[in-house]
Amino acid sequence: MKPCIPKLTIVLSLVLYSIGWLGTAQAQRSRENFDKLWQFHKGDIAIKQAVKAGKQGGLTDANVKVVEGEEAIIAYTDKNKVANYKPSDWINVNLPHDWLIEEPYIHDDNIGSQPAGNGYRLPGIGFYRKEFEVSEADSGRKITIEFDGIFRNSTVWVNGHLMGNHPSGYLPAWYDLTNVLRYGKEGKNVILVKVDATDYEGWWYEGCGIYRHVWLTKTDPLHVARFGTFVTTPSVSDREAVVSVKTTIQNEYKDPKTITLVSKLVDSKGALLNTQTVSQSIAAFDQVEIAQTGTIPQPQRWSPETPNLYKVLTEVSEAGKLVDTYETTFGVRTIALTTEGFFLNGKLYPIKGTANHQDFAGVGVALPDKLNAYRLKLLKEMGCNGYRTAHHPPTPELLDLCDQMGLLVMDENRLLTSTDNGLNDLKTLLYRDRNHPSIFMWSLENEESLEGNVTGTRILAKMVETARKIDTTRPTTAAMNHGWNEGGYSDAVDVVGYNYGQRGMQYVKDHEKFPQRKMIVSESTSYVATRGEHEDNKQKGYVSNFGMGLSWGLQPGQDWKHIVQYPYLSGTFVWSGFDYRGEPTPYRWPCVSSHFGIMDLCGFPKDGYYAYKAAWTDTPLVHVFPHWNWPGKESKPMKMRGYTNCDEVEWLVNGKRVLKQKVEPFEYIESEVVYQPGQFEARGYKGGKLVARELLQTTTAPAHLTLNADVTSLKADGTDVAIINIAIRDAKGRVVPTASNQVKFSINGPGRIIGTGNGNPSSRESDKASQRMAFNGYCQVLVQSNQSAGDIRLSATAETLKGAEVILHVH
């Protein structure tokens, strides 16, 4: 493919100045999204380190300088030629980007940290580069770049200067570019990022590349430090919340400065509630932490049901001139994890949670914010109030969404380690995330082999001590799979996490033995099921929704029954909310994804979804499965299972009652029924009153498609996404539950297809193609807006079926 190399003439900083949010020429602080107009090179480029700045070595200032012209992107001096550089090796990309999603599947169980862990795709090395200009007016400001997440082991050069290396694939990498940038006429800047993902950090699909956002921040040398505010509410009552605001101000001038710090508390509508002002001097090249205390009268509590947010607006002035502004979102809520369970705002509040990796159909780990919001919306609709960021720090935008949408977060660290690097990673996690009201716990590790071991205990204790120095307002936990009662391991954390603690009723026994122990079910269930499948099929890699209970798991809903019976367990995080690539269990190839999800990779619900919705919401519900399309099985007995939150259920086949039965809370009902094509009706009763119904009908052949977009309009920002679900229906409009037609998409207008999916864990079709096989009646296409307004027309066709079209207004 001939690359189209854009003339990168956009001067982002000037744009930001022109729309400066304070409307002044010398904006105090700007934070520019830096996701657009990158170039990507798959494969390694040999680079020798320079031994003297700008002089010798492989990638010096001289050999990365930009040469104007159609073909050249980087000119390498002959002497220091680093690679046989070809412009055609580079393609244009916008971030977030996961290149592994476009790699072929390789049937080799050895790929990954455990067999098939990475989903049969081979990660590798890639490079990203971007040219950008910085205006003369920015000279003298402090300019930093923050990568929310690069998977993994990234090395960054700017204008040939090695800025640093950052191994973690899950924590942000941050560099101060001030001294090495070229300002105004000094020329263009080039940033080069090497990503070496040849190693793994987990046992799931982890992707490859700059898969989260990038930000360029410009401030005065006198400014609020990175992650420089800490807002807590040490005392909360109906009358008043006391708000403690700690602000770290950094002076990078060579002279001492006297600053005035104003901290304004505002509500979600921006109404000013309180102002605190203090003056302070700061020595040259030094920083100070300033503590202020304000109050909010009659505070609106934050909770998943009422996600009320407040802000601290920070203003830093020097000699009457405003030099920096900063915003911190926070919430007013009380949390207490006790021996009796978890309390939110003083009330027992069991966590209805799921644990999740960052992965979605069509895009891999590179989720635009909209897809994170979509996933959280689906979880909330199911009745979830909790989210565990398994098993690593999440992208920060996910936490903003949890604050706004209302989900309590168990924020998880990646590794059990007390090395300097490990503790620094943990500190970054805590400093970055500690203002989020959604976060109620820090999870320091998951299922490490040193659990219950004295060495593990020493390491964990050091991590807890490190966390407590940064935040005492939330408890620490470890998501343990074993070793709860050995080596003092459990005593090191505030709350003991039980992964699959139902085995041998370990958590109940431990509660009796250690009544002072605070507990949470950090992981449960691991129920494997392939959406729409009702028979195991090892050859295809499918697992029936009747479930093969795994030896360490439970049936959907039974996990919740334990929380209701034993509230001291504080709640549960079901493994997992969504399917994710890699870790295909129990079968491997041709299966390439997990099917632990309550929903599949597209967010389509499996049968078990209804067990949770029944348990976690008040909406009366009956669900019954499998579907009612079984040609050849007429007059044969058929196993049917039902989930409900009603107290009695009735089943009818073609109008004739085949079952009427009382139902125990959180249990399913199961019975054999003779299959006759037509209609299966499930009715749910509460106190003898019919409150819920579900109809299964035998369909005829697929006849047409319908498209269901989650929105009718998109923002013309180049990032917004519409999720369009395609259903294959018969002539009467009923979804054909076994349909697997190939659906072709075409698009017109200011948008593009960024991926497709169908939730089939064994699908090895390209996620980036403009066609997809439907899987058991459904598939999905993701459409992202461009930066211009207009109408997007997305049409879907399938041979012999009547196609459909959806229009999305972009403005």
State the catalytic residues: 447, 523
Between 326 and 596, CB nearer to ligand GAL: 596
- In b/e form, how buried is each residue of 579-603, taking b as 16+ CB within 10 angstroms? bbbbbbbebbbbbbbbbbbbbbbbb
Minimum distance of ligand GAL from residue 439's CB (angstroms)? 20
- Measure CA 20 to chain center: 30
Minimum distance of ligand GAL from residue 106's CB (angstroms)? 22
DSSP 3-state helix, strand, coil percentages of the chain (rounded to 5)? 15, 40, 45
Give the 3-state DSSP-derived string for 549-579, with helices as H, strands as E and coil as C.
Answer: CCCCCCCCCHHHHHHHHCHHHCEEEEECCEC
Tokens of 665: 């809370």
Using CB positions, name the residue nearest to ligand GAL. Answer: 526
How many Å apart are CA 229 and CA 484, to the nearest integer? Answer: 36
- The DSSP secondary-structure symbol of 271 reads -
| CB half-sphere exposure, 475, CA atoms < 13 A | 24
CA pseudo-torsion sign 505, 511, 517, 519? positive
How many Å apart are CA 320 and CA 313, to the nearest integer? Answer: 18
Tell how strand 272-282 and strand 721-730 pair up: unpaired
| Binder of ligand GAL out of 526, 545, 572, 784 (CB under 6 A) | 526
Per CB under 6 A, does 447 bind ligand GAL?
A: yes
Which residues on adjacent β-strands are paired with residue 467? none
* DSSP line for 717-748: SS--EEEEEEEEEETTS-B-TT---EEEEEEE
Between 247 and 477, CB nearer to ligand GAL: 477
Nearest to 466 by CA among 436, 493, 503: 493
Minimum distance of ligand GAL from residue 354's CB (angstroms)? 12
Q: Which of residues 590-629 bind ligand GAL (CB under 6 A)?
A: 596
Per CB under 6 A, does 502 bind ligand GAL?
A: no
| Binder of ligand GAL out of 575, 587, 675, 680 (CB under 6 A) | 575
Minimum distance of ligand GAL from residue 391's CB (angstroms)? 6
Minimum distance of ligand GAL from residue 529's CB (angstroms)? 13
In angstroms, how far apart are the furthest CA atoms of the chain?
90
Between 577 and 777, CB nearer to ligand GAL: 577
Contact track, ligand GAL, 378-397, x by CB under 6 A? -------------x------
Which residues on adjacent β-strands are paired with residue 496? 478, 519
Minimum distance of ligand GAL from residue 97's CB (angstroms)? 25
Between 203 and 630, CB nearer to ligand GAL: 203
Tell me, by CB under 6 A, how many residues bind ligand GAL: 10
| Binder of ligand GAL out of 403, 451, 510, 523 (CB under 6 A) | 523
- The DSSP secondary-structure symbol of 203 reads S
Between 471 and 583, CB nearer to ligand GAL: 583
Minimum distance of ligand GAL from residue 570's CB (angstroms)? 18
653 near 661, Cβ under 8 Å?
Answer: no
267 near 209, Cβ under 8 Å?
Answer: no
Asked if omega into 811 is within 30° of 0 (cis), the reply is: no
CA pseudo-torsion sign 57, 61, 66, 67? negative
Phi and psi dihedrals of 334, rounded to 5?
A: -110, 140
Contact track, ligand GAL, 678-717, x by CB under 6 A? ----------------------------------------
Tokens of 308: 């009320």
Asked if omega into 590 is within 30° of 0 (cis), the reply is: yes
Minimum distance of ligand GAL from residue 111's CB (angstroms)? 17
Per CB under 6 A, does 446 bind ligand GAL?
A: yes
Per CB under 6 A, does 477 bind ligand GAL?
A: no
* Residue the block writes with tokens 């923050």: 146
Between 391 and 518, CB nearer to ligand GAL: 391
Per CB under 6 A, does 481 bind ligand GAL?
A: yes
Minimum distance of ligand GAL from residue 688's CB (angstroms)? 41
Between 274 and 499, CB nearer to ligand GAL: 499
Q: Which of residues 740-799 bind ligand GAL (CB under 6 A)?
A: none
How many Å apart are CA 15 and CA 301, to the nearest integer? Answer: 38
Minimum distance of ligand GAL from residue 528's CB (angstroms)? 8
Per CB under 6 A, does 644 bind ligand GAL?
A: no
Between 230 and 360, CB nearer to ligand GAL: 360
Per CB under 6 A, does 354 bind ligand GAL?
A: no
Distances (CA, A) of 680 to 619, 641, 650, 655: 21, 12, 11, 8
| Binder of ligand GAL out of 30, 217, 499, 785 (CB under 6 A) | 499
Between 436 and 595, CB nearer to ligand GAL: 595
Binding residues vs ligand GAL (CB under 6 A): 391, 446-447, 481, 499, 523, 526, 575, 583, 596
